[in-house]
């Protein structure tokens, strides 16, 4: 058989599993076979179309777990400069999905959105199709003839929208407004964890004036009732208070906030923050109940961070000052330049990016011990050894609600670790007392509570070194940056972008 005929035969063999009554599990090496044929110049448009059609059929049957398995294989295999998924299947899938999604049950749409997002298979066009569908269902809620909307799924539906890195590109006007209008039922009846999720989505999707007029005021009675019974919220109380207190109304001067807000939300939240700062400052991992108790208490807040509205007062409370303006300007320029090269759909988009500069010397002989005029660092759990200085700078895998993230490679800790590495022989308790200098860190996410603890521990370790830290947020900046400045640039086609070098090892956010 001539080679061309052989390749044609191979291509037609790849149609076989797609023609079965129901799509099987992805055969081992399937995506690799597609890639290999494509490399040899075989035209695969028809095959890509069929794969997309088979996946769309799975969605219409509600078999989203199967879709996920196929996606993983198609994403982890490269052809040329992109994943097999991006070589033609993603675009076809988007076209097919437009036609079928209307007839699909809401739980399937929500689950598909989660899978696309978690496996990073969502591309800006494809994502828009899914979010538009969610929006039209929420808008049509209660309208005769509109597709049924299950109100119990509202928190989950909004949660996937909230986590989208394409907010600026695909933000469907009115989604959060419509959701807030039909949220009464969920706010009243949702289990505590879903209540926290829903409020978290609202405070992230709505600006403070909208938050107060669409969520707080219309649902005053329900919110008061749920907060009055703190026992019922149990260990989710901090998460619920966090979302409300970050929705706005921090200062008494903010107009339009109801008078009950301070007593019911702000004061109890402030009490939680005092509990947190006491844990970080007084107990720490070295005293009190030891490491295990410290980690348990920190994770018990079920929060990643204290939120944009509160990070500054909390940092001050911990004695962490902001770096000088000149450093902030340099850091910001450097950060923005780097973010511009990040693709919003890439694994790097969700990671924090930081900039740090430091200068440490010995107070005995004035010798320079460690110095950097400025370096960029992404948070990289994989490249930081779990055990390195685990006792000195103890991190806790904190996260919002049931999601936890490894925090030992966060920007702030990664910077402090590289300093400790430099110090070498001065790392002994006696040597450390004679180290002086400054460490400045600027990071484009809100510093997490694990890192706040690490910064405090570092200061305890090197008491004569001044550690200053700031986040790329107001009031340090005059205003919020555009969405793409925090999460990378949304591009219609991921070919030849930072998404291109696909590797299963990079796929772990």
Instruction: Give one DSSP letter per residue of 86-104, joined into a string.
Output: GGTHHHHHHHHHHHHGGGS
81 and 87 in contact (C-beta within 8 Å)?
A: no
Which C-beta is closer to Zn ion: that of 83 or that of 298? 298
Which C-beta is closer to Zn ion: that of 194 or that of 392? 392
Helices (H), ranges, 14-149: 30-39, 45-60, 64-76, 89-100, 106-118, 124-139
Indicate left, alpha or beta for 284 from its phi (over 0: left) and psi (-120 to 50: alpha).
left
Which C-beta is closer to Zn ion: that of 90 or that of 353? 353
**In the complex, what is the shortest distance from the CB of residue 471 to Zn ion, in angstroms, rounded to a whole number?**
11
**In the complex, what is the shortest distance from the CB of residue 303 to Zn ion, in angstroms, rounded to a whole number?**
12
Question: Which residue, among 112, 16, 147, 78, has the nearest Cα to 496 in the 3D structure?
Answer: 78
Q: Which stretch binds Zn ion (CB under 5 A): 89-97, 258-266, 382-390, 410-418?
A: 410-418
Q: Which stretch binds Zn ion (CB under 5 A): 261-269, 334-342, 403-411, 418-426?
A: 403-411
**Interaction pattern, residues 361-400, with Zn ion; x per rule: CB under 5 A:** ----------------------------------------
**Interaction pattern, residues 419-458, with Zn ion; x per rule: CB under 5 A:** -----------------------------x--x-------
**In the complex, what is the shortest distance from the CB of residue 279 to Zn ion, in angstroms, rounded to a whole number?**
16
**In the complex, what is the shortest distance from the CB of residue 456 to Zn ion, in angstroms, rounded to a whole number?**
13
**In the complex, what is the shortest distance from the CB of residue 405 to Zn ion, in angstroms, rounded to a whole number?**
9
Q: Which stretch binds Zn ion (CB under 5 A): 149-157, 207-215, 405-413, 489-497?
A: 405-413
Which C-beta is closer to Zn ion: that of 133 or that of 305? 305
**37 contacts Zn ion (rule: CB under 5 A):** no
- Which residues have C-beta within 8 Å of that of residue 22, sequence separation ≥ 6? 61, 63
Which C-beta is closer to Zn ion: that of 34 or that of 448? 448
Taking CB under 5 A as the criterion, which residues in 249-278 touch Zn ion?
none
Distances (CA, A) of 346 to 87, 165, 332: 16, 10, 21
Q: Please state whether beta strands 368-378 and 435-443 pair in parallel, antiparallel, or not at all (unpaired).
A: unpaired
372 pairs with which residues across the strands? 358
Question: Which residue, among 466, 470, 465, has the nearest Cα to 328 in the 3D structure?
Answer: 470
Which C-beta is closer to Zn ion: that of 356 or that of 435? 356
Q: Is 147 exposed, middle or buried (0-12, 13-18, 19+ CB in 10 A)?
A: middle
Instruction: Give one DSSP letter per residue of 173-236, joined into a string.
Output: TTHHHHHHHT-HHHHHHS-HHHHHHHHHHHHHHS-HHHIIIIIITTTHHHHHHHHH-HHHHGGG
Helix, strand, or coil (residue 242) = helix
**In the complex, what is the shortest distance from the CB of residue 450 to Zn ion, in angstroms, rounded to a whole number?**
5
Which C-beta is closer to Zn ion: that of 123 or that of 389? 389
Which C-beta is closer to Zn ion: that of 38 or that of 395? 395
Q: Which stretch binds Zn ion (CB under 5 A): 57-65, 122-130, 279-287, 404-412?
A: 404-412
Question: Which residue, among 420, 414, 448, has the nearest Cα to 432 in the 3D structure?
Answer: 420
**In the complex, what is the shortest distance from the CB of residue 264 to Zn ion, in angstroms, rounded to a whole number?**
30
Q: Give how many residues touch Zn ion by CB under 5 A.
A: 3
Return the DSSP state at 462: S
Which C-beta is closer to Zn ion: that of 170 or that of 395? 395
Length of the chain in terms of residues written: 509
Whether the ω angle into residue 397 lies within 30 degrees of 0, i.e. cis, is: no
Q: Rounded distance, CA 46 to CA 52, Å?
A: 10
**In the complex, what is the shortest distance from the CB of residue 238 to Zn ion, in angstroms, rounded to a whole number?**
17
Q: Which stretch binds Zn ion (CB under 5 A): 203-211, 381-389, 409-417, 484-492?
A: 409-417
**In the complex, what is the shortest distance from the CB of residue 54 to Zn ion, in angstroms, rounded to a whole number?**
41
Q: Rounded distance, CA 77 to CA 393, Å?
A: 38
C-alpha torsion angle, residues 46, 47, 53, 55 (rounded to 10): -160
**In the complex, what is the shortest distance from the CB of residue 451 to Zn ion, in angstroms, rounded to a whole number?**
3
Which C-beta is closer to Zn ion: that of 119 or that of 379? 379
Which C-beta is closer to Zn ion: that of 47 or that of 295? 295
**410 contacts Zn ion (rule: CB under 5 A):** yes
**In the complex, what is the shortest distance from the CB of residue 12 to Zn ion, in angstroms, rounded to a whole number?**
52
- Which residues have C-beta within 8 Å of that of residue 396, sequence separation ≥ 6? 294, 295, 298, 299, 407, 449, 450, 453
Helix, strand, or coil (residue 362) = strand
Return the DSSP state at 152: G
**In the complex, what is the shortest distance from the CB of residue 467 to Zn ion, in angstroms, rounded to a whole number?**
14
Which C-beta is closer to Zn ion: that of 59 or that of 451? 451
What residue ranges bind Zn ion (CB under 5 A)? 410, 448, 451
């Amino acid at each position: 058989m001539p080679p061309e005929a052989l390749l044609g035969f191979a291509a037609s063999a790849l149609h076989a599993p797609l023609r079965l009554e129901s799509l099987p599990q992805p055969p081992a090496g399937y995506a690799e076979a597609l890639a290999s044929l494509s490399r040899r110049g075989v035209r695969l448009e028809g095959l890509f179309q069929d794969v997309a059609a088979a996946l769309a059929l799975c969605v219409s049957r509600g078999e989203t777990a199967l879709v996920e398995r196929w996606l993983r294989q198609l994403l982890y295999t490269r052809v040329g400069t992109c994943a097999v998924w991006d070589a033609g299947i993603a675009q076809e899938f988007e076209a097919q999905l437009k036609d079928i999604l209307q007839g699909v049950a809401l739980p399937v749409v929500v689950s598909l959105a989660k899978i696309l997002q978690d496996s990073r298979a969502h591309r800006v066009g494809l994502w828009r199709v899914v979010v538009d569908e969610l929006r039209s269902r929420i808008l049509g809620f209660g309208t005769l003839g509109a597709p049924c909307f299950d109100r119990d799924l509202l928190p989950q539906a909004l949660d996937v929208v909230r986590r989208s890195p394409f907010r600026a590109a695909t933000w469907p006007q009115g989604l959060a407004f419509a959701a807030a209008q039909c949220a009464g039922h969920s706010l009243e009846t949702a289990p505590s964890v879903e209540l926290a999720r829903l409020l978290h989505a609202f405070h992230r999707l709505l600006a403070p004036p909208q938050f107060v007029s669409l969520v707080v005021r219309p649902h005053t009675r329900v919110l008061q009732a749920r907060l009055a019974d703190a026992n019922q919220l149990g260990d989710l109380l901090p998460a619920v208070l966090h979302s409300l207190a970050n929705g706005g109304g921090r200062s008494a001067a903010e107009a339009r906030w109801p008078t009950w807000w301070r007593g019911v939300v702000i004061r109890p939240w402030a009490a939680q923050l005092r509990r947190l700062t006491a844990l970080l400052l007084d107990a720490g991992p070295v005293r009190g109940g030891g490491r295990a108790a410290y980690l348990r208490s920190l994770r018990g807040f079920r929060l990643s961070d204290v939120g944009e509205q509160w990070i500054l007062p909390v940092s001050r409370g911990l004695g962490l000052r902001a770096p000088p303006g000149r450093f902030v300007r340099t850091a910001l320029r450097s950060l923005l330049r780097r973010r511009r090269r990040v693709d919003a759909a890439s694994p790097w988009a969700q990671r924090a990016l930081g900039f740090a500069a430091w200068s440490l010397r010995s107070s005995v002989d004035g010798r320079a011990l460690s110095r950097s005029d400025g370096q960029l660092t992404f948070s990289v759990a994989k490249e930081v050894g779990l055990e390195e200085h685990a006792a000195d700078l103890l991190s806790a895998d904190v996260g919002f609600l049931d999601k936890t993230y490894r925090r030992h490679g966060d920007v702030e800790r990664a910077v402090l670790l590289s300093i400790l590495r430099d110090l070498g022989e001065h790392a002994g308790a006696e040597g450390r007392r004679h180290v002086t200098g400054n460490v400045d860190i600027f990071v484009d996410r809100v510093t997490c509570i694990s890192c706040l603890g690490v910064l405090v521990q570092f200061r305890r370790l090197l008491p004569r070194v001044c550690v200053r830290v700031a986040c790329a947020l107001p009031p340090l900046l005059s205003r919020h940056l555009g969405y793409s400045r925090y999460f990378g640039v949304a591009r219609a086609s991921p070919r030849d972008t930072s998404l291109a070098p696909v590797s299963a090892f990079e796929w772990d956010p």
